[in-house]
Structure 1
Amino acid sequence: MRCRHPNGSSLPEAGNLHHQTAVRLDLANRRRLPLASRFNHEHPSGPMAAKGPDRDRPPGRRVGVSRRHSSPCHTMKPSIRIRLSVMMFLEYVIWASWYVTMGRYLENVLNFSKEQIGLVYNTTAVAAIISPIFVGMVADRFFSTEKVLCAAHLLGGAFALLLTRVETFGVFYAVLLAHTLCYMPTLALTNSISFHQMKDPSKEFPSIRVLGTISWIVTVWGIGQLAQTDALKEFDVRTPAPFAIAGVASILLAFYSLTLPHTPPKAKGQKVSLWDVLGLDALRMLREPSFAVFILSAFLICIPLSFYFSLAPICFGDLGLPNATGATSYGQMSEIFFMLVMPWFFARLGVKWMLGVGMLSWGLRYLLFLLGYESGAFWPLYVGIVLHGICYDFFFVTAYIYTDQKAPEAMRAKAQGFIALVTLGLGMLAGTTLSGKVSGWYSFPAVTPEKSKPVADASAWVPGNYVMWRADGETRFGALEALPETNAGETARVRVYVPAGDRGYEPGEEVLEVPLNALEKPLPRWDSIWKIAAYGALAVLMLFVAVFREPKAKTAEPAAPTADATTT
């Protein structure tokens, strides 16, 4: 489902991480960016030069362009704006409620291994690859968008509620994948409903889409704050409540969708191929060396990038960061700030160094997390979280702009779908899978922990958790086999682990009764994990800076400056 941008190009609607679609639209008014002079529509001889009545109009008065290419929809009424804002807010409550907290829940309660946690997180990447197929092949051609949205959220909500009752890895993975397969297409569907009501999406959509970012902040912060109360202590990571919140919000949005403005299928009666839906026509752009280097670097940087989404919340909890769940919302707050100042940076850095600064920021944030682990201080963790605005906006937003710049007019939508497939699909899939393996390599029983975390509440333990304790001046390790029936019980039964060859530990024959108040949680070697992520990001940065060449813009016959053009 696509809407037409005022410049005449088709607007992509691939799924995203938090707000990629808003990013594209918010920056699509190219005359406000220093890169604008490189786009065809600002060159009189370019393929998007004005035609017809506007051809002889003075450059500063080509107002007919946006009217001619805008949606036939009427100007949005305040009541429609409110309804779309509510829709967007609920849309991101669903995702935000479980995505940040899930890792700690899987580790602490369901006792999933690090590798299994990484695999569970790749469900969103798998769904991001498949969802464009559903949207392009089915939703765009046969059904009204609001009805498809209702069905997807109704089914997705049922799967989210089912997750509250699932405890085994195989079933959990399958049910969460089913939920994400229902949810990810709705990111494009909600955008399509919004576009259909807008005369100028580049100006009207950001004010609607920002409700999604606000929703993410409010949801994550709110869940984190509730978990700090005595009555709901750690319900965010000790109970499946976040999935219940997602399920209820999804079902509410399903019924609310039926009240949304009617949005007919855009491609009804048209032939659509899988090749077109995935944007694979853009493969021909790889013939240009600079774009090929960009695509390769974009894929590679998403591998270390994924470590943040799947591992950072677990790390923050392990290190005792206050309100670890809510603290991650500072990253979304910084996204809003850096989005506002991006034009200023574009004017001074250009595409290559905007992408370079984004990659560098990913490496720096992981080094900050490493410093937080080694020093025990919280400030490096907070700074690393706040860097999210630069990490995300400078890389992803610039990637969308550069892709739009390089693609021929008729291929821009497909090119945007292709970069989303490479980064948010394939890159994230590889990254989340690798992050689980790396964290497994550097966690007990694969390595000897160098730090531990006291567990004050005995009810936090579950059978299967790894533990460590000190007895007779010796540090020992094991796994819980049984806990007392009440918190008042004094001891737990622990299977002792013994060294296994050159590296790691394995279950031994000895079983001990160990006092609960002596048990501690052995922490992963977060220093090694974050080093790998940081070095990976910095290696991609060096490759990109060394090989990428930003083509010079063709400026033989520059257009006269328009009245609202930004000059540098």
Structure 2
Amino acid sequence: MAVAEGASKIAGGSPSGLLTGRLSALMFMQFFVWGAWQVTLGLVMQTVGIGNLIANAFSVGPIASIAGSFLLGMVATRYLSPKMLMVILHLVGGAILFVLPSLVTPEHGETMVWVLLGYLILYMPTVGLANTIALKSFGERVDNFPFVRAFGTLGWIAAGLIIGWLGLSASPQIFTAAAIVSIALGLYSFTLPNVAPDAPSDDSVLRQVFCVEAFGLMRQRSFLVFIVCATLISIPLAMYYAYASPYVGATGIENVSGTLAIGQMSELGFMFAMPWLYRRFGVKPLLLVGMAAWALRYALFAIGDGGSSLWAVYLGVALHGVCYDFFFVAGAIYTQTIAQPKGVNAQAQGMLTLFTYGVGMLLGSQIGGLLYAQLPAQPSIADWHQMWWYPAAAAAVIALIFQITFRGEREGAAA
């Protein structure tokens, strides 16, 4: 029987402080690695003269999410320990990150995109693996997950602040900073809780590769609606990740990385409130507010500028806490409650990653690329305003669809 280190629990089923600390360190490094390069990659590419490849660079992450979720996040976790996968993936991924700065040039731009794809095939499954390790370690106390996940946000904030402080926001050396922490996380992963992989079933290999058990969860109407809306809302999300940094730079703000870190600071505050909010309101209100916040954020970007409306830029960035926590963190907990009775926790988290960071963000990166291609080489604020209205409208429509069609019970409301 799979156990998540029984010694890590104390009387009453509450996780010990030691376990919480270990998992918090895991989340901190997991998202430091990602935040170190993801936030300002678009600015870096525009600065070195390969802005035309931004859409492709931000499309490889979603492609990697799809490939990685099938090959590693869902299949390998049934036969290998999640923590050993974390060791292997982060050590090899760190080595690749050390190579990337030399490829961020006009001569090697295409090669950089392909190498980035290879790296992300290794990295993206670790997002679901980290969630799985934490959630399985907590057992029934899934309401403790947001507290630990908050340290992932701290890691992302720390990455942005350090990159900005070092003056690397527009430098390819953002990958070097990520590489150092990736290697450290690979070594640290040896010490993670020894949670067991999902128990292999008697299904055929093909049924396991294509995650028939996890996809079977969508026979529940509410979960199907959630997955569809999560995929759709990830389309405008992709545009934020790819184009927020050049947009903020166009407003005249110099410390782009530090400014975007405001969003993670907001995320951190809401993250600590998530356990209470989830118990108090249940899943639907949180998911709905999260989607509505995306529409509001893009509307603010569509009116913000470097003058009297600069406040709209900062407020739009600060809304990241509501946008991300209320949808993606609450969504991960909701997915866990649906998957737990079926014993397909890792598969379900991998499937959620596949649809959100995979299918949704792939579509968003390509759609964003088409919209960005309509802008001049050096877009003005007015040009950016026109672009941001599209994701604002899309997010509003998705929120309306969710409100009308989602009828799930308040899972997790009673703890």
TM-score range, shorter chain: 0.7 to 0.9
Give me the whole-angstrom Cα distance separating, in 1, the residues matched to 2:250 and 2:193.
Answer: 48
What are the residue-to-residue correspondences of 1:468-547 with 2, within 5 Å?
A: 525-545=383-403, 547=404
**In the alignment, which residue of structure 2 is the partner of 1:369?**
301
**In the alignment, which residue of structure 2 is the partner of 1:325?**
257
Moved more, 302-311 or 196-205: 196-205
Give yes or no for contact 2:143–2:275 (8 Å, CA) kept in 1: no
Amino acid in the other structure paired with 1:211: F
Pairwise CA RMSD: 3.6
**In the alignment, which residue of structure 1 is the partner of 2:41?**
102
After TM superposition, give the deviation of residue 441 of structure 1 in Å.
1.5
Q: Residue deviations 1:125-147, cap 9 Å, x none?
A: 222222233144335414x5544
After TM superposition, give the deviation of residue 371 of structure 1 in Å.
1.1
Q: Residue deviations 1:412-460, cap 9 Å, x none?
A: 6355543332222211111112111211122339xxx6x3xxxxxxxxx
After TM superposition, give the deviation of residue 362 of structure 1 in Å.
0.8
- Shift in CA distance, 257/294, structure 1 to aligned 2, threshold 3 Å: closer
Amino acid in the other structure paired with 2:40: T
- Shift in CA distance, 415/362, structure 1 to aligned 2, threshold 3 Å: same
Q: Residue deviations 1:246-280, cap 9 Å, x none?
A: 1222223334444x258386358765645446544
- Shift in CA distance, 136/358, structure 1 to aligned 2, threshold 3 Å: closer
After TM superposition, give the deviation of residue 100 of structure 1 in Å.
0.5
Please tell me whether residue 437 in structure 1 is matched to residue 375 in structure 2: no
**In the alignment, which residue of structure 1 is the partner of 2:72?**
134
Q: Residue deviations 1:45-88, cap 9 Å, x none?
A: xxxxxxxxxxxxxxxxxxxxxxxxx6453126876665554444
SS of aligned partner of 1:550 = coil
Give me the whole-angstrom Cα distance separating, in 1, the residues matched to 2:406 and 2:143.
Answer: 32
Give me the whole-angstrom Cα distance separating, in 2, the residues matched to 1:126 and 1:402.
Answer: 24
**In the alignment, which residue of structure 1 is the partner of 2:197?**
266
Give me the whole-angstrom Cα distance separating, in 1, the residues matched to 2:143 and 2:180.
Answer: 32
Give me the whole-angstrom Cα distance separating, in 1, the residues matched to 2:244 and 2:227.
Answer: 26
Q: Residue deviations 1:136-162, cap 9 Å, x none?
A: 4335414x5544433322221121111
After TM superposition, give the deviation of residue 220 of structure 1 in Å.
0.7
**In the alignment, which residue of structure 1 is the partner of 2:243?**
311
SS of aligned partner of 1:442 = coil
Amino acid in the other structure paired with 1:543: I
Give yes or no for contact 1:374–1:527 (8 Å, CA) kept in 2: no
Of all paired residues, the percent bearing the same amino acid is: 32
Richer in strand (by share): 1
Richer in helix (by share): 2
**In the alignment, which residue of structure 1 is the partner of 2:319?**
387
Moved more, 365-374 or 190-199: 190-199
Give yes or no for contact 1:71–1:200 (8 Å, CA) kept in 2: no
- Shift in CA distance, 364/79, structure 1 to aligned 2, threshold 3 Å: closer
Give me the whole-angstrom Cα distance separating, in 1, the residues matched to 2:244 and 2:23.
Answer: 32
Give yes or no for contact 2:226–2:406 (8 Å, CA) kept in 1: no
SS of aligned partner of 2:303 = helix
Give yes or no for contact 2:27–2:130 (8 Å, CA) kept in 1: yes
**In the alignment, which residue of structure 1 is the partner of 2:12?**
none
- Shift in CA distance, 432/275, structure 1 to aligned 2, threshold 3 Å: farther
- Shift in CA distance, 298/215, structure 1 to aligned 2, threshold 3 Å: closer
Give yes or no for contact 2:100–2:175 (8 Å, CA) kept in 1: yes
Give me the whole-angstrom Cα distance separating, in 2, the residues matched to 1:255 and 1:290.
Answer: 40
SS of aligned partner of 1:175 = helix
Give me the whole-angstrom Cα distance separating, in 1, the residues matched to 2:153 and 2:282.
Answer: 26
Amino acid in the other structure paired with 1:179: Y
Query: Structure 1 residue aligned with 2:8, among 67, 75, 79?
Result: 75
Give yes or no for contact 2:146–2:274 (8 Å, CA) kept in 1: no
Give me the whole-angstrom Cα distance separating, in 1, the residues matched to 2:220 and 2:17.
Answer: 46
Query: Structure 2 residue aligned with 1:296, among 219, 225, 228?
Result: 228
Please tell me whether residue 217 in structure 1 is matched to residue 150 in structure 2: no
**In the alignment, which residue of structure 2 is the partner of 1:182?**
122
SS of aligned partner of 1:525 = helix
Give yes or no for contact 2:294–2:323 (8 Å, CA) kept in 1: yes
After TM superposition, give the deviation of residue 287 of structure 1 in Å.
5.4
Which consecutive unaligned segments of at least 5 residues does structure 1 have?
Answer: 5-69, 228-234, 452-522, 555-563
Q: Whose relative contact order is higher, 1 or 2, with alpha carbons under 8 Å and at least 6 apart?
A: 2
Give yes or no for contact 2:62–2:358 (8 Å, CA) kept in 1: yes
Give me the whole-angstrom Cα distance separating, in 2, the residues matched to 1:80 and 1:351.
Answer: 26
Moved more, 334-343 or 524-533: 334-343
Please tell me whether residue 160 in structure 1 is matched to residue 97 in structure 2: yes
Query: Structure 2 residue aligned with 1:396, among 307, 328, 332?
Result: 328
After TM superposition, give the deviation of residue 217 of structure 1 in Å.
1.0
- Shift in CA distance, 249/419, structure 1 to aligned 2, threshold 3 Å: closer
Give me the whole-angstrom Cα distance separating, in 1, the residues matched to 2:295 and 2:414.
Answer: 35
**In the alignment, which residue of structure 1 is the partner of 2:342?**
410
What are the residue-to-residue correspondences of 1:541-560 with 2, within 5 Å?
A: 541-545=399-403, 547-550=404-407
Query: Structure 1 residue aligned with 2:291, among 359, 366, 371?
Result: 359
Give yes or no for contact 1:404–1:416 (8 Å, CA) kept in 2: yes
Please tell me whether residue 426 in structure 1 is matched to residue 365 in structure 2: no
Give me the whole-angstrom Cα distance separating, in 2, the residues matched to 1:137 and 1:80.
Answer: 27
Query: Could you state the TM-score of these two structures normalised by the residue count of structure 2?
Result: 0.82
Give me the whole-angstrom Cα distance separating, in 1, the residues matched to 2:5 and 2:60.
Answer: 37
Which consecutive unaligned segments of at least 5 residues does structure 2 have?
Answer: 10-15
Query: Structure 2 residue aligned with 1:124, among 47, 55, 61?
Result: 61
- Shift in CA distance, 175/264, structure 1 to aligned 2, threshold 3 Å: same
Give yes or no for contact 2:34–2:178 (8 Å, CA) kept in 1: yes
Amino acid in the other structure paired with 1:163: L
Give yes or no for contact 1:125–1:429 (8 Å, CA) kept in 2: yes
Q: Residue deviations 1:13-68, cap 9 Å, x none?
A: xxxxxxxxxxxxxxxxxxxxxxxxxxxxxxxxxxxxxxxxxxxxxxxxxxxxxxxx
SS of aligned partner of 1:372 = coil
Amino acid in the other structure paired with 2:39: V
Give me the whole-angstrom Cα distance separating, in 2, the residues matched to 1:553 and 1:97.
Answer: 36
After TM superposition, give the deviation of residue 119 of structure 1 in Å.
1.6
Give me the whole-angstrom Cα distance separating, in 2, the residues matched to 1:252 and 1:351.
Answer: 35
Give me the whole-angstrom Cα distance separating, in 2, the residues matched to 1:261 and 1:402.
Answer: 24
Give me the whole-angstrom Cα distance separating, in 2, the residues matched to 1:244 and 1:251.
Answer: 11
Give me the whole-angstrom Cα distance separating, in 1, the residues matched to 2:339 and 2:133.
Answer: 26
SS of aligned partner of 1:251 = helix
Structure with higher Rg: it is 1
